[in-house]
Amino acid sequence: MTMSSEPAWPITSVLTTLLEQTPPTVPQPTQVMTLLVEIPPAGRGLPPHRHSGPVFGYMLEGEMTFEVEGEPERVIRAGEAFWEPGGDVIHYQDSNNLADATSRFVVTMMMVPGEPMITFVDDDELDRRRDRRAPRPA
């Protein structure tokens, strides 16, 4: 991160870059929403879905199994940042990876105004796009 000019007083804050990403698209115009998501122990999270724009998140507590179309599933742990491109890309899973603790994360979504925050994907579409999903763990 760069500063635009010298500050008027000494900087005492610590700035740590957690994630820097250039999304492929940002809807125009854009509506931005920030949510706190809490998934109970062993909770499955949302079924496969998509967002109209990119989503950026930060894991506050616990662990989440995270998978978006074209990428293998992975575990995101407390203190880690994540993102998904949105648009046509399917978000397959955001389940709690822990059986004994609630997982909590914050997401900021850039959405098309007037469109749903989440659009669920039906089984027929999942079947048609199965070749776009990364191989499943054994």
Residues 14, 44: Cα–Cα separation, whole Å: 35
For 105-115, write each residue's pLDDT tens digit.
Answer: 999 999 999 99
For 31-85, write each residue's pLDDT tens digit.
Answer: 999 999 999 999 999 999 999 999 999 999 999 999 999 999 999 999 999 999 9
The per-residue DSSP string of 4-68 comes to SS--SS--------------S---SS-EEEEEEEEE-TT---PPSEE-SS-EEEEEEESEEEEEE
Query: Encoding tokens for residue 116?
Result: 């749903």
Instruction: Tell me the HSE value of 16 on the side-chain side, using a 13 A CA sphere.
Output: 5
Q: What is the pTM of this model?
A: 0.86
Residues 56, 105: Cα–Cα separation, whole Å: 10
